[in-house]
Amino acid sequence: MRPTRDIAVVAFGQTDHRRTSDEHSEVEMLLPVLHDVLDRTGLRTADIGFTCSGSSDYLAGRAFSFTMALDGVGAWPPISESHVEMDGAWALYEAWTKLLTGDADTALVYAYGKSSPGSVRDVLTRQLDPYYVAPLWPDSVALAALQAQALIDAGETDEPALAGVAARSRADARTNAHAQLRGPVPQGDYLVRPLRTGDCPPIGDGAAAVILAAGERARDLCERPAWIRGIDHRVEAHSLGVRDLTDSPSTRLAAERAGAFERPVDTAELHAPFTSQEVVLRKALRLGDSVCVNPSGGPLAANPVMAAGLIRIGEAAARVHRGESDRALAHATSGPCLQQNLVAVLEGDVR
Amino acid sequence: MSKEPVAVVGIGQTKHVAARQDVSIAGLVREAARRALDDAELTWVDIDAVVIGKAPDFFEGVMMPELYLADALGAVGKPMLRVHTAGSVGGSTALVAANLVAARVHGTVLTLAFEKQSESNAMWGLSLPVPFQQPLLAGAGGFFAPHVRAYMRRTGAPDTVGSLVAYKDRRNALKNPYAHLHEHDITLEKVQASPMLWDPIRYSETCPSSDGACAMILTDRAGAARSPRPPAWMHGGAMRSEPTLFAGKDFVSPQAGKDCAADVYRQAGIADPRRDIDAVEMYVPFSWYEPMWLENLGFADEGEGWKLTESGVTELEGDLPVNMSGGVLSTNPIGASGMIRFAEAALQVRGQAGEHQVDGARRVLGHAYGGGSQFFSMWLVGAAPPAS
């Protein structure tokens, strides 16, 4: 669909992503990022028309964890606010629809996740079918390994090619001051065959925030707004047994609906926490070798769960802001083996 | 720019009970969704997107259950959003779904909220220790009782008002086939003789723990034109939040609630809620919240809410019926409770509320709140399409 109103990402901020952040609560982690995006636009909390966040109680290990994060926004007088128990990319989607209705002209979107207090591999098993699958505790790396092996068996990739994805991502991350893993990283031993530690994302804590604005407001707040030309998301069946793990039809459909295939993109920020998932996404998104994929280093360089998808949109937008991209694609994922996928297309004004 | 008008054309609920041991979580939500589709005379292929809500994932012990529920809700190949805004979530979920239609992103959206409290223990889910923050380990009643006390002290309300609300809501529930508590032998004396849990809140003035789900089909003007039954039209909807704890917060009548109601009334062209609104489905988990919210929502002046309750105005046959369905006091699948308020408001203006129908209900408010009285979501629905 064609959006009825021009809406752009006008500011993006993120933390330095780290293996542990024991000394900071979620609110303390979030606060500097919120101030960062507000400072970039000169807006104050009271100026924001709508606020939406993404996070997960299971990472915090307690119910209603997001209610305290609101303290970091400074929500007084009362604000128009909502929350998705999903990656922040979906919070951005909710904010985008809110701006489309005309009820607000600006939106603050944020997301955060601390994986360090627990074992994120164990925690993510609780996402699975609670009656038949979760009791077996298959973890996120094991499920990604199933997907990787299916790709290798289908002749779509091999282990050296996967190592190449890892090396390229971490090399690109050298210029990203926020990344957790930068520069040469050993491919390491098998974690779950065929995936080695180098094929897997680092475990870490982090937060990110984005400001959206509509129409002329966006031009006032940002020299070169990253216009959201299209955004869509789709979900697939949960059960791995009924899906072809070497393909991602939901990504392809979301990309189609977002208009990604109408003209080539020059940049793609992909939320592929495992090297093998980049192979799946490149195919679904028809990304040729000329497209600059994950110049930030992607989730292989920093993967703060629940914020990593929003960061892909933010990184893609920031490249448009800086004039390094004219048409960028951003992708976010949720669930085991790329079950749910969101695609956004961002463009700068013609120069 | 103009918004697309939003219509409710399908409503489905499960029969709410303490434990639905005959169905999985997936089976529970599918039951409500099927009933909503049947009401709208639509099938799964007519649905463009699914917006689902529930209260904390710890209540069932499933992290982000929307992923597992995608199949059961016919969402495969479609967009699916999961909203979580504490106790207000059922209302917020409906509003997020409504925005998809209003923004013309989708034509027809299925929205659903649920809680299957029997899968786990909500009290335990709420009692995990929070480092460096004020412990609220006494359960929800322990948190809210002091604020009820403050209301009584501030207004001089006699201590009999709470039991009147509970007696009314439990009697109303007898007329609602989906309500959890059907206490056929209820009397005012029984409510007043029930054990004191968190003074001044008695056992019979508290909500039950329920398994249940509620679903609605929201659609655009074209979809409403095809509806086999009268649609309910959304005239206004809003969410407001404020922090849980801070100096200066008025727990008796939070500013976020007042602002949220004012926004809805502005959108709906309501000048005087007491006169212009025919009935209210209000989030009342503890009986005293009826008079408190009557004031917060502008139906009574400050200090006067309890007088409306005491004089019978909020009875089913009264001038401003409140919680015709029996309310949260009779049915509380936590994550769904807000959506049930929204859905029951829509049932009233569609004239489909059966035995608990208010004659001539044309404009009805659905209200939800959550957290430490910090999150609010409301909508006002009407029998006629909105002007413009």
B289 burial (CB, 10 Å; 0-12 / 13-18 / 19+) is: buried
Average pLDDT of the segment spanning A10-30: 95
Half-sphere exposure of B202 (CA within 13 A, CB side): 19
pLDDT for the residue numbered A135: 96
- Cα separation, A234 vs B49, whole angstroms: 9
- To 10 degrees, the CA torsion angle through A119, A123, A128, A131? 110
| CA B48, chain centre distance (Å) | 24
Residues B226-256 have pLDDT tens digits of 999 999 999 999 999 998 888 889 999 999 9
CA-based torsion, A103, B111, A81, A216: positive or negative: negative
Partners of A63 on chain B (C-beta within 8 Å) are 55-59, 125-126, 128
Average pLDDT of the segment spanning B260-289: 98
| CA A231, chain centre distance (Å) | 13
Cβ separation B86–A67 shorter than 8 A: yes
Residues B41-59 have pLDDT tens digits of 999 999 999 999 999 999 9
- Cα separation, B10 vs B47, whole angstroms: 12
pLDDT band, residue A4 (cuts 50/70/90)? confident
Cβ separation A58–B260 shorter than 8 A: no
Query: For residues A147 and A277, is the Cβ–Cβ distance under 8 A?
Result: yes
Give, to the nearest 10 degrees, the angle between helix A249-257 and helix A275-284: 50
Q: If you search the block for the tokens 């929204």, which residue do you land on?
A: B342
Of A63, A78, A86, the CB nearest to B64: A86
Average pLDDT of the segment spanning B61-65: 96
Phi, psi for B163 (deg, rounded to 5):
-70, -30
Task: Give the tokens for residue B60.
Answer: 């069932």
**Among A217-231, A314-328, B135-149, whose mean pLDDT is lowest?**
B135-149
Residue B127 has pLDDT above 80, yes or no: no
Residue B131 has pLDDT above 60, yes or no: no
Residues A113-132 have pLDDT tens digits of 999 999 999 999 999 999 99
Nearest to B69 by CA among B179, B215, B220: B215
Cβ separation A129–B68 shorter than 8 A: yes
| CB within 8 Å of B22: residues ≥ 6 apart | none
Mean pLDDT of chain B: 95
The alpha carbon of residue A209 is apart from the nearest alpha carbon of chain B, in Å, by: 19
Query: For residues A167 and A184, is the Cβ–Cβ distance under 8 A?
Result: yes
Question: What is the DSSP secondary-structure string of A75-118?
Answer: --S-B-EEEESS-HHHHHHHHHHHHHTTS-SEEEEEEEEE-TTS
Residue B110 has pLDDT above 90, yes or no: yes
Average pLDDT of the segment spanning B81-93: 97
Residue B125 has pLDDT above 80, yes or no: no
- Measured between alpha carbons, how far is residue B311 from residues B153, B275, B321 in Å? 20, 17, 12
- Cα separation, B367 vs A226, whole angstroms: 37
Of A5, A131, A235, the CB nearest to B78: A235
pLDDT for the residue numbered B134: 60
pLDDT band, residue B135 (cuts 50/70/90)? low
Residue B64 has pLDDT above 80, yes or no: yes
pLDDT for the residue numbered A292: 98
Residues A64-82 have pLDDT tens digits of 889 888 888 989 999 999 9
Nearest to B260 by CA among B113, B381, B369, B388: B369
pLDDT for the residue numbered A65: 86
Q: Counting every residue, how long is chain B?
A: 388
Interface test with A, best of B68, B116, B218 (most A CBs within 10 A): B68
- Cα separation, A149 vs A141, whole angstroms: 12
Partners of A123 on chain B (C-beta within 8 Å) are 63
- Cα separation, A227 vs A221, whole angstroms: 13
Mean pLDDT of chain A: 96
The percentage of residues in chain A with a pLDDT greater than 90, rounded to a whole number, is: 93
Residues A141-170 have pLDDT tens digits of 999 999 999 999 999 999 999 999 999 999
**Among A62-71, A171-180, A192-201, B63-72, whose mean pLDDT is lowest?**
A62-71
Partners of A335 on chain B (C-beta within 8 Å) are 64, 67
pLDDT band, residue A1 (cuts 50/70/90)? low
Residue B144 has pLDDT above 70, yes or no: yes
- Cα separation, A108 vs A72, whole angstroms: 12
Average pLDDT of the segment spanning A288-314: 98
Residue B136 has pLDDT above 60, yes or no: no
- Cα separation, B23 vs B33, whole angstroms: 14
Half-sphere exposure of B378 (CA within 13 A, CB side): 29
Task: Give the tokens for residue A248.
Answer: 């991602």
The alpha carbon of residue B56 is apart from the nearest alpha carbon of chain A, in Å, by: 5
Partners of A83 on chain B (C-beta within 8 Å) are 83-85
The percentage of residues in chain A with a pLDDT greater than 70, rounded to a whole number, is: 99
pLDDT band, residue B341 (cuts 50/70/90)? very high
Q: Which amino acid is residue B101, in one-letter code? A: V
β-bridge mates for residue B367, sequence order: B378
User: Among the residues of A173-263, which ranges form H helices?
Assistant: 215-221, 249-257
The alpha carbon of residue B348 is apart from the nearest alpha carbon of chain A, in Å, by: 27
Nearest CA in chain B to A238: B68
Q: Which amino acid is residue A346, in one-letter code? A: L
Partners of A134 on chain B (C-beta within 8 Å) are 62
Partners of B372 on chain A (C-beta within 8 Å) are 67
Nearest CA in chain A to B129: A62
Of A70, A130, A232, the CB nearest to B68: A130
Residue B372 has pLDDT above 90, yes or no: no
Interface test with B, best of A45, A84, A337 (most B CBs within 10 A): A84
Partners of B240 on chain A (C-beta within 8 Å) are 78-81
The alpha carbon of residue A51 is apart from the nearest alpha carbon of chain B, in Å, by: 10
Query: For residues B135 and B129, is the Cβ–Cβ distance under 8 A?
Result: yes
pLDDT for the residue numbered B211: 97
For B149, the 3-state DSSP assignment is helix
- Cα separation, B38 vs B316, whole angstroms: 28
Cβ separation B99–A250 shorter than 8 A: no
Half-sphere exposure of A348 (CA within 13 A, CB side): 19
Nearest to B372 by CA among B290, B252, B261: B252
pLDDT for the residue numbered A165: 98
Average pLDDT of the segment spanning B115-135: 74
Residue B132 has pLDDT above 70, yes or no: no
Residues B6-39 have pLDDT tens digits of 999 999 999 999 999 999 999 999 999 999 999 9
The alpha carbon of residue B255 is apart from the nearest alpha carbon of chain A, in Å, by: 7
Residue B385 has pLDDT above 60, yes or no: yes
